[in-house]
Amino acid sequence: MTEPIYEVRNISKKYGAVTALDDVTMQLYPGEVVGLVGDNGAGKSTLVKCLSGVHQPTSGKILLEGQERHWKSPHEALEHGIETLYQDSGLAPHLSVAANVFLGREETVPGILGKMGFLAQKKMDVEAHQELERVGIAVPQSNRSVSQLSGGQRQAVAIGRAVAWAKKVIILDEPTNHLGARQAGEVLQIIKTARAQGLGVIFISHTLPHVMEVTDRIVVLRLGKVVKDAPTSEFTVETLLGTITGLITD
Amino acid sequence: MSVATSAAPSKLKSFVSNQQFILFLVLLGMIGIFTAFNRIFFSVSVAGNVLADWGPLVLVALAETFVIVSGGIDLSVGSVCTLSGVVGAFAIRALTEGGMAPYLSLFIGALVCIGVGCIAGVINTLLINYAKLVPFIATLVTLGAAAGLALVFTGGGPIAGGPSQAIQLSVPWLGPISTPIIIVIVICFICWAFLHKSRFGRHTYSLGSNPFATRAAGISIAKQTAKIYVLSGALAGAAGMFFYLRLGSGAPSSGLGLELYAIAAVVIGGASLSGGSGRISGTVLGALILTTVTSGLIIVGVDPNWKQVVVAILIAAAVTIQGLRRSEGKAS
């Protein structure tokens, strides 16, 4: 059995008297898509924030490729190859597609001007286009402003950006929200491409048919605890829903 | 996707419909109208006066452009300009009395002005990042403090006693253009390069466009905010030095109300106060339109008290036209 690429062991997160996560353990293997599901308030968002470095767990361990990590910031997790697409963050609409793809990782021109931070814009335009194509997204022109794109195109760019940069793990928080059926299908296809590239994918969604379609394994959170962690083939939409709501318990 | 429309006509179309081009036409139209009323308006000396008004205004408007693009506002630029000019004047007087060479004392005075501006920017940053005040309140605090300090330091009167070379420097020698104006034009180009071509500018836009996405991309919002407000203070300080050179003294009233004209210039230039948009070229033209109007009104003999009303109408017109063009752009 290969080693998990990303793992949390017995992590808890308390906000004052409130326990948002209670002794959660889960593993993610390379080339695997794990669905993270649970009702509102089950602790999905808190777990995502611990995994992406926004919050530090109160207790427990986070391991990347077997090495214990204490993320001090999302930036640190990013630098170690963990990309997170937050539900509410999205893109900067005034900037171009390429500028968004390279946001925070801008490439500069060579020489002294580059040291002063001057951008190699043409190079980034070309590379952004190539990278998005590589992960299966057909974006018209990478120098167009994001505000000119449709909602589905924007989401595709946001996911494409995360997949293109992710070196190890990609965490997608509700990526198919507010999307039409065809666009959601495209997003799921991108997730499959990411899996084929050997990335570990954590897919958080309320849309259970999407979870059933794209994941290999499902972790169900309920009131801050993992109540079920099993291969997707062991679930149907009905039993999954029952597990989430607590009607079905093992 | 059928986005591949032929490039050449769309380029021409986007050039003609672009904000800067419209502003340029407005500016030419104004010059034409004022000249029609009074031929004197179209002269080197009037152009020199317009540029002398434009210099300090565009400096604080450049400062305001960075801040507004980032989704903030800096109300303190006018009084920081005043305070810098006053402190710079004290420094220049002391250096002159100490027997320093005139140009060197002016150069050091300029550094003092910019330094005072940077300190004001640091204070704005501390109030925003650590005291968690919204930029409007943080910079309102600094506005009051800086304006008050300028009065306290001077006792209300101008601080003279510098070398006579100061005013001589402000005399135009290249047509209507003086040495300080040349420096201001260079600063405009530098600001253009940094806002539109550099990583710092890119992050300024992304911060104003979507702070959540900016943070998620690993960019420190606190650091970016600090850079923007310190730069804003530095440019306001440079405006203080410009006033000093023009007047030959540091006056506690020189930058009074300048922040509102700066914001007006930025808004006329096409920026949105909600952040994420705005261009240096728009700000430069916006400031030029404002100073042309205010000078023009005086020359054609309109009561100077109408100035503010005309500026108000200009702002209303600019914002309305922008709103219309924006909704049109979305429809197409």
DSSP letter string, A169-183: EEEEESTTTT--HHH
- Which residues in chain A are contacts of B205 at CB distance < 8 A? 92, 94-95, 99
Distance CA A147, CA B215 (A): 19
Per residue in B200-216, is it b (16+ CB within 10 Å) or e — as a string? bbbbbbbbbbbbebbbb
Q: Which of A40-54, A154-168, B34-48, B219-233 reaches the highest mean pLDDT?
A: B219-233
| Nearest chain A CA: its distance from B196 CA (Å) | 9
Q: What is the DSSP letter of A227?
A: E
Domains in chain B and their CATH numbers? 43-322 (1.10.3470)
Residues recorded for chain B: 332
Integer Cα distance of B257 and B265 in angstroms: 13
Is the CB of A74 less than 8 angstroms away from the CB of B216?
yes
Question: Which chain B residue is nearest to residue A150, measuring alpha carbons?
Answer: B330
pLDDT at B324 over 60: yes
Q: A144: pLDDT confidence band, cut at 50, 70 and 90?
A: confident
> Which residue carries 């507004």 as its tokens?
B68
Between strands A59-64 and A6-15, the pairing is antiparallel
**Widest pairwise Cα distance in chain A:** 64
The Cα A125–Cα A119 span in angstroms is 11
| Three-state SS annotation for B174-217 | ECCECHHHHHHHHHHHHHHHHHHHEHHHHHHHHHHHCHHHHHHC
Task: List beta partners, residue A225.
Answer: A222
CA distance A164 to A194: 9
Judging by DSSP bridges, how do beta strands A82-85 and A33-38 pair with one another? unpaired
Residues of A in contact with B7 (CB under 8 A): none
Between A180 and A125, the more confident residue is A125
Mutation target to probe the A interface, by most A beta carbons within 10 A, among B3, B199, B330 is: B199
Measured distance CA(B291)–CA(B51) in Å, rounded: 8
Report the 10 Å Cβ neighbour count for A147: 18
β-sheet bridge partners, residue B159: B250
User: How confident is residue B11, by pLDDT bands cut at 50, 70 and 90?
Assistant: low
CB within 8 Å: B214 and A92: yes
Listed ranges A136-140, B7-11, B136-140, B299-303; the one with the highest mean pLDDT: B136-140
Sheet arrangement for strand A18-28: A18-28, A6-15, A59-64, A67-69
Tell me whether residues A99 and B277 touch, CB distance under 8 A. no
Q: Which residues pair with A203 in a beta bridge?
A: A35, A172
Answer whether residue A134 shows pLDDT above 90: no
What is the structure's pLDDT at B116? Answer: 98
List chain B residues with CB under 8 Å of A95. 202, 205-206, 209
Give A70's pLDDT tier (boundaries 50, 70, 90). Answer: very high
pTM, two decimal places: 0.89
Distances (CA, A) of B165 to A19, B161, B171: 71, 11, 10
In sequence order, the 6+-apart residues with CB closer than 8 A to the CB of A41 are: A223
Q: Is the pLDDT of residue B331 over 60?
A: no
For chains A and B, CB pairs below 8 A equal 80
Quick check: B1 and A138 CB within 8 A? yes
Asked which of A222-226, B9-13, B155-159 is least confident by mean pLDDT, the reply is B9-13
> Nearest CA to B265 among B303, B204, B319?
B319
For residue B325, give every residue at least 6 positions away whose Cβ sits within 8 Å of its Cβ, in sequence order, or none.
B17, B19
Q: Is the pLDDT of residue B291 over 90?
A: yes
- How does strand A6-15 pair with strand A217-222? unpaired
Please, which pLDDT band fits residue A249 given cuts at 50, 70 and 90?
confident
pLDDT of residue A150: 81
Listing DSSP states for B296-317 in one string gives HHHHTT--GGGHHHHHHHHHHH
Above 80 in pLDDT, residue A64? yes
Let me know: does B231 contact B248? Beta carbons within 8 Å. no
Cα–Cα distance measured from residue B20 to residue B7, given in angstroms and rounded to the nearest whole number: 20
Q: What integer pLDDT is reported at residue B10 of this predicted model?
A: 58
Identify the top-confidence range among A126-130, A169-173, A185-189, B84-88. Answer: B84-88
Pick A28 or A16 by higher pLDDT: A28
Distance, CA of B150 to CA of A89 (rounded, Å): 43
User: Residue B290 carries which side chain, given as an amino acid letter?
Assistant: L
Q: Name every residue in A having a CB less than 8 A away from some CB of B.
A: 73-75, 78-79, 84, 86, 88-95, 99-100, 103-106, 108, 116-119, 121, 138, 140-141, 144
Task: For residue B17, name the pLDDT band (cuts at 50, 70, 90).
Answer: low
The mean pLDDT of B160-171, rounded to a whole number, is: 90
Contact partners, residue B189, CB within 8 Å, separation at least 6:
none
For the cut 90, the answer to whether the pLDDT of residue B321 exceeds it is no
Under an 8 A CB cutoff, do A94 and B197 touch? no
Beta carbons within 10 angstroms of residue A225's beta carbon: 16
b/e sequence B108-143, b meaning 16+ C-beta within 10 Å = ebbebbbbbbbbbbebbbebbbeeebebeebbbbbb
- What is chain A's percent helix, strand, coil content, to nearest 5? 35, 25, 35
Length of chain A: 250
Query: Of A239-243, B1-5, B297-301, which range is least confident?
Result: B1-5
What are the tokens at A7?
């793992």
